[in-house]
Structure 1
Amino acid sequence: MMQAKATDSRQEPRLHMDTNARRNFIKFHARLGEKPCTTVRFFDHSDCYTVHGSDDCELVAKIVYKSTAFIGVLLPDDKKETLQFVSMSKGNFEVAVRELLLVRNLRVEVYVKRSSDWELEYRGSPGNLLQFEDILFANKEVLVGNSIISLLVKLEGGAQRRVGVASVEQNDCKFQLLEFLDDDFFTELEATVVLLGPKECLLPSLEGEYAAVKTLLERSGVMITVPKKSSANDLLQDLNRLLRFAKGQQEDASGLKELQLQLASDALKTAIKYLDLVNDAGNLGHYEIKKLDLNRFVHLDSAAVAALNIMPKPGTHPSMPSYRWQSIMGVLDHCRTPQGHRLMGQWVKQPLRNRDILNDRHNIVACLLESPDTLETLSLDYLKRIPDILMLTKKLMRRKATLQDLFRIYQVILRTPKILKLLLELENSTIESMICAPFKSFLEDLTGLKQMVEQVVDFEAIDRGEYLVKASFDNRLMELQQTMTDLYAKMGRLQTKCSEELDLDGKQQVKLENVAKLGHHFRITLKDDSVLRKNKNYRIVDVIKGGVRFTSDKLEGYAEEFASCRSRYEEQQLSIVEEIIQVAVGYAAPLTSLNNELAQLDCLVSFAIAARSAPTPYVRPKMLDEGAGELVLQDVRHPCLELQEHVSFIANSVDFQKDKCNMFIITGPNMGGKSTYIRSVGTAVLMAHVGAFVPCSMASISMVDSILGRVGASDNIIKGLSTFMVEMIETSGIIRTATDKSLVIIDELGRGTSTYEGCGIAWSIAEHLAKETKCFTLFATHFHEITKLAESLATVKNCHMAAVADSDNFTLLYQVRPGVMEKSFGIQVARLASFPDHVVQNAQEVYNEFEDEHVDKQKKEDKALLEKIQVAIEQLSTAGNNTDINVEDLTQLVTQFTKDIKKLDSDYFKSVLATSEA
């Protein structure tokens, strides 16, 4: 076997195989055949893990070792067949699996050697993490949701399709069903995918109608799976086992109104089978089923999510410095709990259309901001110490919980009344009804669990770092407990003797500690190291930052005996612990509800901290009913941009009023701030609909039904779409979806095709939105011709991003001012970007040539137009003296004369026309 030399100090485990084993493995790997590029295969060799094949090797080597230098080659003696490989330890295998499933959205398969052959032992995908939960979430915060959707499409009459969607949220044990009619672009389905944020989607096929669905899902970054066809499972029978029924309710799912959605129910049947939910005892009796109402939420398409930078990049962790200013979620997410992080991710993707709920959220944020001490205590003292109750509850349900897990739940039950007391002191009716009342109810439901833990768990042992059942539950436990108490007393006496021998000041200087790998030992500070080394009665075990660990023969003997006793104690208490966990499982429902309430409080506290800690504090938006037709934001700022270092943000305003102004056409130089301005408006409206305060000095916002965006240009090479095609797909979605209650932001539409075609498309879309849809629209463009819309539509206003330029200097002011800016200043921006002088000079010369040609052409056109007007004046003069002229002919002559005058770029004629029209 040959292996590439490592180029850094890290050493991967060696792969030990004799010649015959190598040859057989290469043959087995060849028999597996081709695999999808979205799947990575691992092989468990007991002492290490491997991946094989060039694609998997390169991917995993870069994830684990940050270098492809760790790729080796399996090389049998005959050298006829070879196979690349990367070997890794169990720890690095877990690192790779976590990255592949949670960040890169790929599938993972793990093969294990069984007798003479390899067998597929585990498989996982972004939406099905069950078999990898111990690897992914052991001692790790779960900051992202884990949902999968299954969908079916049925052709209805005409161009309509009925879509049935079933969503399975495995963390929250929740089924959600919905059905809707959709167009051939699947506009509603796209909004549903944005809303639910699934990691994976199950489709029955990739052909026919599902080809368009596949394209949509890929554009949204969702993995697609076509499950193998198998014998149909009985949905009602599965639901009867999986659902949590209320006390006294008949455990029969057949009467559930949600199952009237036949297409969605069939999709749910597929998802339950694919996830194999009924064969996991931890799922039984814990799921709830709901009908999802899309009308509760503001419609967002994937283009708007990207345009507004709503979500952080995959793999970005809240601890990273860049997390805070890369996305809207990062700006708002100051959560202290994992469940808070997860709920925040859900809230920012699901802005609400319910004014009452939003006002409640705004009321709570305002109250917290008025009580800074309470806000600080909640965030830094209480919420920071709340564990992930949902994950602990799942461990309970799967019978994998330990006494330590149960004690952590108990600590939450103890801490919640302190949170409740602090909130009640605020004397705020919204907080009392929204948060305090549910807290009280769930705490009452958990009283029995609290009492059981107090009766069963040995709290004195916990003080020593051990989680044991009270000895009084069993005679054998009492004997072992007495032995351990005696041993602990003996070790205590050794501690006192050690302090005297080393001439150190009592037990404060010599610590008796217990660490899992070392057992009981002594520790002193590093400064006392020299005293210890002179005494031959003690030997050093370890040196750490916190001091020197050491032991003696007697202490080691006591420690071994103590460890043996404790091991027997834990074995003896196993049956009791199992009974305790069995009882605790019955409290899963109130624990889940308490988890959700704490997550909600964490998010609202986070909103208040975000508003307070911004460079300029956020303000509470005044929310108006849908259709009120008002959107006023004074001094609006972009929350991400203003958080970046060395940025002094220049705020701008927007004022839309129904029937007065609903569209801004924004011109101005490249890099002048057009995109930032329109994104700032979209972001502020989104934040208000989430329940957060907004980065303005004043905000009055009519509730919107959708936020639609078309910002930025990018080729989608992987999916074979050009910049122009992406623009057209996104913009067609806007036209189909927008209503007079929507907010639309469009930037630089019409690029990627000829100038005249692009201008024509941009004009027609702007005119449609302003004239027909009448929605709030911010339309940034370089096509200055479009600004003429303001001449024919009173609700359209022109504005521009100000800049000052002369022959030597060019300054961007980033201020929105009324009127049109005729130049784009592209050459000046190129100079700012440090283009070589000769390139800039050449660009200026070419521009001047084109401009001269344009001026000459314009002069010729104006001359011809003047001659035409001259003739028209003579005709009108003659007509005035001719009493026999037809009135229609005269009207036509005047109309044509007026049109020609308007075409002529003359301030004098314009003023004359304006006076006559007035």
Structure 2
Amino acid sequence: MQAKATESRREPTLHMDTNARRNFIKYHAKLGEKPRTTVRFFDHSDCYTVHGSDDCELVSKIVYKSTAFIGALLPDDKETLQFVSLSKSNFELAVRELLLVKNLRVEVYIKRNEWQLEYRGSPGNLLQFEDILFANKEVLVGNNMISLQVKLEGGTQRRVGVASVEQNDCQFQLLEFLDDDFFTELEATVVLLGPKECLLPSVEGEYVPVKALLERNGVMITVPKKSSANDLLQDLNRLLRFAKGQQEDATGLKELQMQLASESLKVAIKYLDLVNDAGNLGHYEIKQLDLKRFVHLDSAAVSALNIIPKPGTHPSMPSYRWQSILGVLDQCRTPQGHRLMGKWVKQPLRSQEILNDRHNIVECLLESSDTLETLSLDYLKRIPDILMLTKKLMRRKATLQDLFRIYQVILRTPKIVQVLLGLENSTVESVICSPFKGFLEDLTGLKQMVEQVVDFEAIERGEYLVKSSFDSRLMEVQQTMNELYEKMQRLQSKCNDELDLDGKQQVKLENVAKLGYHFRITLKDDSVLRKNKNYRIVDVIKGGVRFTSDKLESYAEEFASCHSRYEEQQQSIVEEIIQVAVGYAAPLTSLNNELAQLDCLVSFAIAARSAPTPYVRPKMLAEGAGQLVLNDVRHPCLELQENVSFIVNSVDFQKDNCNMFIITGPNMGGKSTYIRSVGTAVLMAHVGAFVPCSMATISMVDSILGRVGASDNIIKGLSTFMVEMIETSGIIRTATDKSLVIIDELGRGTSTYEGCGIAWSIAEHLAKETKCFTLFATHFHEITKLAETLQTVKNCHMAAVADAENFTLLYQVRPGVMEKSFGIQVARLANFPEDVVQNAEQIYNEFEDEHADKQNKEDKALLEKIQVAIQQLSTAGNNTEINVEDLTQLVTQFTQDIKQLDSDYFKSVLASSEAKA
């Protein structure tokens, strides 16, 4: 659809004559085809434009929610080109959406003598867009990119080298591992790190399955242009932050012994151009990432458990809290807390010691509600994003106001420590208070410098200035400014007398950036002001009437001129101050991380307390202890929704007694919710949060694996069945006896018998071979027979009550097998047309009758066969010459035939005889 923009729109008009438009069309054509994942903007000084049908449609829908603003260059010419023009603010809005939500690349072209590419960005490389993306905005997302390389090492094994670059935290993480041909470990790494973008040497050959894996996890893929190799050691020597006294040489770092990972890091440093940004030099740290520290999560489990919200969901949205586990737990007050919480929920820990510390602190905070409120509302709410302020320092873009905000944090933190010490808890003191004290001690010099340099009296007036005593020339200008301010105050007093506003000091002297100094009175005194010709009104706002006089305007202009001279004069001093402050980047980053950790733990406590039914502390047992007991477990997202009365259920797994539930029951009966509730509770416990139960005993797990709710993935060309086979094969390869597996409706999308066979074999493998905790929801009732041969398998069902007219779902887990799925009754609940339901019942009854007739015929034939067998056994019993082997064979065959006959009487007789034997 192509339509001209309406004349009434407020967006800027593209000022180009016909000749300029033709030249631009030719230039745009020379650029050639671009990837669909890239959007090009053109900066025309007074506005921005995008061109081409794809970019125009995408951007117009983002900014205007409509394609009605798409115009055309030279619409009557054969060589036409669509365009959308944008103001600066709408350009910034579009860039934020494209980079942070839609995970696309952005290029911006600017015209000097000729059009040229000025800067570019991608989801993993936001450096050139930081001012646009994060100016005066909270940074709630990480900025992580990975680079990886794969090398075949005989057979089906591949060696994978991964380098992760977290630009916000200035951190390199390297790891190298052997992986199978399905790249199971790589997927766990991608889930753990949550990168926005991945650099690959190629998307062909060995990298085809890697590309598919990354796309499945929503990671943008970039194949950088090959260029002359940079010297990794030389780059690291400039980028890394070395400890005091440590030789500034990266040669001996153990992390660089991982050759593939090091090669990957070299590519990432080159692609991000880190060395050419002075703000990065001397601030990065490098470490090896140990996957064994974390519970293994695959992408299917992340999706099944709704761990993270949908892209574009912001914590300020009303639905944010109940859409995901992150939303439930994220009650953080600081941007750094939000970012850390996003990491924690994707990185559940396998360290019992760390988890016990977190649980201890959350419990302690819950026991002191006043302290919890004070920390959350009085202190943490006032903490700025120290990480972003530190980055501004490192890039020499910080102002005195930024430095003062850091100073305020340094002042507030001892008060936070004092409040925490009042809890008299040893874990709180060792885990939180002691690190805080150490970092504050390191920042003493910065605090003293700010107190010596910054003019605090000016800050009270809304100005950020260096103390005039720092420089004689500053003192002269300051003296003039003080004299002018006193004159303006005398004018204020005179004005108050002249207007005679009830004898009160009603006239306010105010300073606003665009207006300078002026007077203000309330709206109700407007009539008095208009009668006095000595004053003229500047503007009228909700807060009152702004006005001035000739003298006040003269003083205000002179004051503004002095103020500008003062700022120019102090600039060199400010630069020196910032230069010194950069040296405190390391302790500031550490302080930021500690505040983020405290914010997350406070958030856990608030989430536990504010739930409809408060969460409880889980008792964590060592891996392999073989217990998973959750009493009255609830789903934390569902219970937060309005008009939902959640029905609780329980699970009790004990090693060698029961480690698998096969769950049957009607559609919509709560099977999926039940198994997700268990998986969610286990995840929350491994993050360090309390859990939605009345009692929880949890043996620590090494992985949480899931296969829930697969659907067609048309974009990637995968059917429902193929999606669930890929996910389930990952479970089979990864699960151990220390894992938790949740599987829902496995085997759909193929024939009933094949699906049942696959589901049976997988359930049997998990129960007999893997012996992990498993919740297996299914409509294949045949699988429930596993419980007859495996003592660790128990059947249970979601209860429902049905009669001829009514059908009620109870959502309760009860022992035993549900005899039927009640699909037709559920269809009636969903308000299917009655004629459709009746037709379904008729067809169902026909199939059932046909099956019963067939079963009766088979049973009749089997009975005849059994009667013959009885006659043979009777004859053999009277024959003293019969061979023992022949008699044994007859008895065995007779027993097998009895078992095939679906008779409760014969089954009980056989069970009794087997027990006696």
TM-score by length of 2: 0.98
- The 10-residue stretch of structure 1 (270-279 or 466-475) with the greater mean CA deviation from structure 2: 466-475
In structure 2, distance between residues paired with 1:403 and 1:890: 101
Aligned position for 1:410? 407
Deviations along 1:844-883, whole A, 9 cap, x unmatched?
1111111111111111111111111111111222222223
How far is 1:838 from its partner? Answer: 1.3
Please report how far the alpha carbon of residue 37 of structure 1 lies from its aligned counterpart in structure 2 after TM superposition.
Answer: 0.3
Q: What is the rounded CA distance, in whole Å, between the counterparts of 1:871 and 1:506 in structure 2?
A: 121
Shift of 1:549: 2.7
Provide closer, same or farther for how the CA distance between residues 555 and 907 of structure 1 changes in structure 2, counting only shifts above 3 A: same
Q: How many equivalent pairs are there?
A: 915
Query: Given the superposition, is the C-alpha separation of residues 231 and 814 from structure 1 closer, same or farther in structure 2, using an over 3 Å criterion?
Result: same
**Which whole-Å CA distance do the structure 2 matches of 1:3 and 1:106 have between them?**
24
- Unpaired runs of 5+ residues, structure 1, are none
Distance 1:713 1:886 in 2: 58
**1:31-90 alpha-carbon deviations (Å, 9 max, x no partner):** 111100000000000000000000000000011111110101001765x21000000001
Q: Partners of 2:340 and 2:413 in 1: how far apart?
A: 19
- Deviation, structure 1 residue 899: 2.2
Q: CA deviation at 1:507?
A: 6.9
Structure 1 residues 218 and 634, CA gap change in structure 2 (3 angstroms): same
User: In structure 2, the residue corresponding to 1:312 is in which secondary structure?
Assistant: coil
Following superposition, the deviation at residue 895 of structure 1 comes to: 2.3
- The DSSP-based 3-state class of the residue aligned with 2:315 is coil
CA distance in 2, matches of 1:642, 1:752: 32
The CA distance in 1 between the partners of 2:494 and 2:715, in whole Å, is 72
SS at match of 2:510: strand
Instruction: Answer with 11-20 or 213-222: which moved more.
Output: 11-20
Q: Is the 8 A contact 2:4 2:72 kept in 1?
A: no
Q: Is the 8 A contact 2:796 2:816 kept in 1?
A: yes
Flag the 1:501–1:369 CA change in 2: closer, same or farther, 3 A.
same
Distance 1:276 1:407 in 2: 31
Q: Tell me how far 1:495 sits from its aligned partner.
A: 2.2
SS at structure 1 position matched to 2:251: helix
C-alpha spacing 1:874/1:174, structure 2 compared with 1 (3 Å): same
253-262 or 854-863, which deviates more? 854-863
Kept in 1, the 8 Å contact 2:5–2:71? The answer is no
Deviations 1:368-402 (A, max 9, x none): 00000000000000000000000000000000000
**Farther-moved stretch of structure 1 (872-881 vs 159-168):** 872-881
- Pick from 339, 344, 347 the counterpart of residue 342 of structure 1: 339
- Kindly state the Cα deviation for residue 158 of structure 1 after the two structures are TM-superposed: 1.4
Q: Following TM superposition, by how much is the alpha carbon of 1:520 offset from its aligned partner in structure 2, in angstroms?
A: 1.9
Alpha-carbon distance in structure 2 between the residues aligned to 1:888 and 1:284? 86
Cα gap change, 1:151/1:673 in structure 2, threshold over 3 Å: closer, same or farther?
same
Q: 1:884, CA displacement in angstroms?
A: 2.6
748-757 vs 863-872, which deviates more?
863-872
Deviation, 1:512, is 2.0
Residue 496 of structure 1 contacts residue 507 of structure 1 at CA under 8 Å; is this kept in 2? no
8 A Cα contact 2:12 2:47, kept in partner: yes
Specify the SS of the correspondent of 1:179. strand
Check whether the contact 1:48–1:90 (CA below 8 A) recurs between aligned residues.
yes
The equivalent residue for 1:512 is: 509
Q: Deviations over 1:668-725 (max 9, x none)?
A: 0000000000000000000000000000000000000000000002111111111110
Deviation at 1:4, TM superposition (A): 4.1
The answer on whether the counterparts of 1:352 and 1:689 sit within 8 Å (CA) in structure 2 is yes
- State whether residues 153 and 163 of structure 1, in contact with CA within 8 Å, keep that contact through their aligned partners in structure 2: yes
CA distance in structure 2 between the partners assigned to 1:784 and 1:379 by the alignment = 51
CA distance in 2, matches of 1:717, 1:411: 53
**Counterpart secondary structure, 2:504:** helix
CA separation of 1:508/1:826 partners in 2, compared to 1, >3 Å: closer, same or farther? farther
2:87 alignment counterpart:
89
CA contact (8 A) 1:746 1:778 kept: yes
Match of 2:711 in 1: 714
User: Cα offset for 1:608?
Assistant: 0.2
Q: 1: distance between equivalents of 2:324 and 2:8? A: 36
| Secondary structure of the corresponding residue to residue 693 of structure 1 | coil
Task: Classify 1:883/1:445 alpha carbon distance in 2 versus 1 (closer, same or farther; 3 Å).
Answer: same
Q: CA–CA distance in 1 between the matches of 2:902 and 2:671?
A: 28
Q: After superposition, what is the alpha-carbon deviation per residue over 1:256-293, rounded to whole angstroms, capped at 9, x for unaligned?
A: 11111111001000000000000000000000000000
1:746-786 deviations in Å (ceiling 9; x for gaps) = 00000010011000000000000000000000000000000
Residue 372 of structure 1, aligned match among 369, 391, 413: 369
Contact 2:521 2:544 in 1 (8 A): yes
Q: Say which SS state the counterpart of residue 10 (structure 1) adopts.
A: coil
Which shifted more, 537-546 or 307-316?
Answer: 537-546
In structure 2, the residue matched to 1:661 is 658
Change (3 A) 1:335 1:505: farther
Q: Is the 8 A contact 2:109 2:119 kept in 1?
A: yes
What secondary structure, in the 3-state scheme, does the structure 1 residue paired with 2:317 have? coil
Structure 1 stretch displaced more, 653-662 or 502-511: 502-511
Contact 2:364–2:425, Cα closer than 8 Å, also in 1: yes
More displaced stretch, 483-492 vs 297-306: 483-492
* Greater mean alpha carbon deviation, residues 520-529 or residues 794-803: 520-529
Which stretch of the first structure deviates more once superposed, 557-566 or 815-824? 557-566
CA distance 1:476–1:262, change in 2 (3 Å): same
Contact 2:2–2:68 (Cα < 8 Å) also in 1: no
Contact 1:23 1:76 survives alignment (8 Å): no
The question of whether the paired residues in 2 share the 8 Å contact of 1:512 and 1:520 is answered with yes
1:543 deviation in Å?
Answer: 3.1
Change beyond 3 A, Cα 1:8–1:756: farther
Indicate how the Cα distance of structure 1 residues 477 and 122 shifts in structure 2: closer, same or farther if over 3 A, else same: same
Return the offset for 1:6.
4.4
- Check the 8 A contact 1:19/1:77 in 2, yes or no: no
Matches of 2:367 and 2:422, distance apart in 1: 13
Q: Which moved more, 1:630-639 or 1:495-504?
A: 495-504
Q: Residues 7 and 703 of structure 1: is their aligned pair in 2 closer, same or farther, counting only changes over 3 Å?
A: farther
How far 1:508 moved relative to its partner? 5.6
In structure 2, do the counterparts of structure 1 residues 235 and 861 end up closer, same or farther at CA, with 3 Å as the change threshold?
same
Q: CA deviation at 1:915?
A: 1.9
The answer as to whether partners of 1:162 and 1:181 remain within 8 angstroms in 2 is yes
Instruction: Give me the whole-angstrom Cα distance separating, in 2, the residues matched to 1:588 and 1:848.
Output: 75
Partner of residue 107 from structure 1, selected from 105, 126, 129 = 105
Go from structure 1 to structure 2 and tell me whether the alpha carbon gap of 1:508 and 1:683 turns closer, same or farther (over 3 Å shift). farther
Name the counterpart of 2:16. 17
Asked if the contact 1:494/1:555 (under 8 Å) is kept, the reply is yes
Within a 5 Å distance, the mapping from 1:491-510 to structure 2 comes to: 491-504=488-501, 509-510=506-507
Q: Secondary structure at the match of 2:195?
A: coil
Whole-angstrom CA distance in 1 between matches of 2:688 and 2:14: 55
Tell me: CA distance 1:530–1:910, structure 2 relative to 1, closer, same or farther (3 Å).
Answer: farther
Q: Which moved more, 1:521-530 or 1:900-909?
A: 521-530
Indicate the SS of the match to 1:352: coil
Aligned equivalents of 2:318, 2:818: Cα separation in 1: 38
Q: CA deviation at 1:5?
A: 4.6
Per the TM alignment, residue 913 of structure 1 is displaced from its structure 2 partner at its CA by 1.8
Residues 507 and 104 (structure 1), Cα distance of their counterparts in 2 relative to 1, 3 Å cut: farther
On the 8 A contact 2:499/2:528 being kept in 1, the answer is yes
Structure 2 vs 1, CA of residues 548 and 811 (structure 1 numbering), >3 Å: closer, same or farther? farther
CA deviation vs aligned residue, 1:381-428 (integer Å, no higher than 9, x gap): 000000000000000000000000000000000000000000011110
Which range moves more in the overlay, 672-681 or 875-884?
Answer: 875-884
Quick one: structure 1 residues 906 and 25, their matched pair in 2 at CA, closer, same or farther if it must change by over 3 Å? same
- Scaled by the length of structure 1, the TM-score of the pair is 0.98
Is the 1:499–1:505 contact (alpha carbons within 8 Å) kept by the matching residues of 2? no
Distance, in Å, in 2 between the alignment partners of 1:508 and 1:381 is 34
For the 8 Å contact 2:170–2:280, the answer to whether it is kept is yes
Distance (whole Å) between structure 2 residues aligned to residue 532 and residue 33 of structure 1: 65
My pick for the range that moved more, 521-530 or 875-884, is: 521-530
Q: Distance in 2 between matches of 1:186 and 1:237?
A: 32
Q: Aligned pair in 2 of structure 1 residues 520, 898: CA closer, same or farther (>3 Å)?
A: farther
**How far 1:513 sits from its partner (Å)?**
1.9
Return the alpha-carbon distance in structure 2 between the equivalents of residues 696 and 347 of structure 1: 21
- Are the counterparts in 1 of residues 371 and 419 from structure 2 also a CA contact under 8 Å? yes
In 2: Cα distance, 1:19 partner to 1:270 partner: 45
Alignment check: 8 A CA contact 1:502 1:531 kept: yes
Residue pair 1:22, 1:76 contacting (<8 A) in 2 also: no
Distance 2:622 2:772 in 1: 15
Separation (CA, whole Å) in 1 of partners of 2:299 and 2:67: 35
In the alignment, is the contact (CA less than 8 A) between 1:19 and 1:76 conserved in 2?
A: no
